[in-house]
């Protein structure tokens, strides 16, 4: 029997089989016509190997699972309970980075530890990193949160950046990085999905059509998520809110809420009493009625603020962590929608 190698089977792959098959077994396999196994025994490649796709954090993992379906092995780099802002890369993570065929990252500085690891230890890995925010037009990026604005502007902090006129080119020229939390806007999430579809199709052309079909179906679900959010939040347009960290400017912009400020002035640093006083003053003068904590962070500060000011405390999930799975993003966003609708006055 002489089985020609098909082009797909001949694709070069990393790794090789551990040991040659015993010749008796090989003869038997050939006799019963198990040609894929027989080929695997002859060639130093593994024909049925599915691409290993490593997503950096929970939301990206959820998206990638929806596009990959059964055609790729999708792994989550971060443990489900560790967010990308405070992740420390360990040697075993570096091994997973080296082993992956594709790495799905957010970009915009969220995975600075990945960029550093690649620069220092795994230069070859650079070409397999796909940043899902690539190709989003610069006009859509948000560079700064609004300054805490008081009723009397003279009392405001008065430093640098105004609001409502974020000139993308100026920021770029100044070397500034946009706020990275674009995934909390379902419309920009659909852009990310299209990047994942292209990435998986390039890594595994045999299943390109299947990735495209699943990507399209998932994108349609995110479109209906967006429609539901737009409909449910339209009565709340213009309402002021305060969140814990700087994760929700894209969501607020998309659905017309006004982000007055955040509790955590600097990520991962407790705000100073002076900053909290300014935030409290802004909450009072802007008549903010709800402040949102996040499940990823200790709600102590937010609860205290809510108690002191007599306003509602609710929770919005940034979806940087959570129970990993295909449903994480959609379910999380629908929970966020519910929290907004139930807590906004």
Closest to Zn ion by CB, 147 vs 264, is 264
Closest to Zn ion by CB, 188 vs 203, is 188
Alpha-carbon span 226 to 220, nearest angstrom = 10
Phi-psi region of 63 (alpha: psi -120 to 50; beta: other; left: phi over 0): alpha
Distance in Å, CB of 83 to Zn ion, minimum: 7
Stretch that binds Zn ion, among 13-21, 44-52, 239-247, 287-295 (CB under 5 A): 239-247
Which one, of 240, 235, 259, 239, lies nearest residue 249 by Cα?
259
Q: What are phi and psi of 51, to 5 degrees?
A: -65, 140
Distance in Å, CB of 294 to Zn ion, minimum: 9
Closest to Zn ion by CB, 40 vs 328, is 328
Distance in Å, CB of 251 to Zn ion, minimum: 12
Closest to Zn ion by CB, 60 vs 247, is 247
Stretch that binds Zn ion, among 63-71, 127-135, 144-152, 247-255 (CB under 5 A): 247-255
Q: Tell me the two tokens of residue 243.
A: 């969140």
Closest to Zn ion by CB, 38 vs 76, is 76
Closest to Zn ion by CB, 101 vs 185, is 185
Helices in 234-327 by DSSP H: which ranges?
Answer: 249-255, 273-285, 300-309
Place of tokens 């993570």: 93
Query: Which residues, at least 6 apart from 115, have a Cβ–Cβ distance to it below 8 Å?
Result: none
Residues pairing with 157 in the sheet:
none
Stretch that binds Zn ion, among 131-139, 204-212, 245-253, 292-300 (CB under 5 A): 245-253
Distance in Å, CB of 267 to Zn ion, minimum: 7
Alpha-carbon span 310 to 313, nearest angstrom = 9
Distance in Å, CB of 84 to Zn ion, minimum: 7
Alpha-carbon span 17 to 105, nearest angstrom = 30
- Residue at shortest CB range from Zn ion: 247
Distance in Å, CB of 143 to Zn ion, minimum: 15
Which of 54, 247, 291, 319 forms a contact with Zn ion (CB under 5 A)?
Answer: 247
Alpha-carbon span 97 to 75, nearest angstrom = 11
- Cα-based distances in Å from 336 to 88, 124, 234, 318: 28, 39, 15, 9
Distance in Å, CB of 245 to Zn ion, minimum: 6
Instruction: Provide the mask over 193-232, with x wherever binding to Zn ion is found by CB under 5 A and - wherever it is not.
Output: ----------------------------------------
Closest to Zn ion by CB, 71 vs 185, is 185
Q: Which residues bind Zn ion (CB under 5 A)?
A: 247
């Amino acid at each position: 029997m002489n089985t020609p190698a098909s082009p797909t089977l001949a694709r070069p792959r990393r790794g090789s089989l551990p040991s040659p098959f015993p010749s008796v077994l090989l003869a038997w396999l050939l006799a019963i016509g198990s040609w894929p196994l027989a080929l695997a025994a002859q060639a130093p490649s593994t024909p049925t190997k599915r691409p290993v796709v490593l997503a950096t954090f929970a939301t990206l993992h959820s998206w990638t699972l929806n596009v990959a379906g059964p055609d790729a092995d999708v792994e989550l780099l971060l443990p489900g309970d560790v967010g990308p802002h405070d992740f420390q890369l360990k040697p075993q993570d570096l091994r997973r980075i080296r082993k992956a065929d594709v790495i799905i990252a957010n970009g915009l500085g969220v995975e600075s530890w990945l960029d550093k690891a690649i620069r220092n230890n795994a230069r070859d890995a650079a070409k397999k990193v796909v940043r899902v925010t690539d190709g989003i037009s610069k006009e859509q990026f948000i560079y700064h949160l609004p300054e805490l604005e008081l009723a009397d502007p003279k009392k405001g902090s008065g430093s640098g950046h105004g609001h409502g006129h974020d000139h993308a080119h100026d920021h770029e020229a100044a070397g500034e990085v946009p706020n990275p939390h674009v995934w909390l806007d379902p419309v920009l999430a659909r852009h990310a999905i299209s990047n994942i579809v292209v990435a998986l199709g390039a890594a595994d052309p045999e299943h390109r059509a299947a990735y495209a079909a699943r990507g399209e179906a998932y994108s349609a679900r995110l479109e209906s998520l967006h429609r539901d959010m737009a409909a449910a939040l339209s009565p709340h347009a213009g309402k002021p809110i305060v969140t814990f960290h700087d994760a929700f400017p894209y969501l607020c912009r998309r659905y017309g809420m006004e982000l007055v400020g955040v509790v955590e002035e600097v990520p991962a640093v407790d705000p100073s009493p002076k900053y909290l006083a300014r935030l409290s003053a802004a909450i009072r003068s802007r008549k903010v009625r709800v402040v949102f904590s996040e499940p990823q962070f200790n709600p102590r500060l937010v609860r205290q603020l809510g108690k002191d000011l007599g306003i509602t405390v609710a929770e919005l999930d940034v979806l940087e962590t959570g129970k990993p799975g295909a449903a994480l993003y959609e379910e999380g966003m629908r929970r966020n929608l519910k929290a907004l609708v139930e807590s906004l006055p």
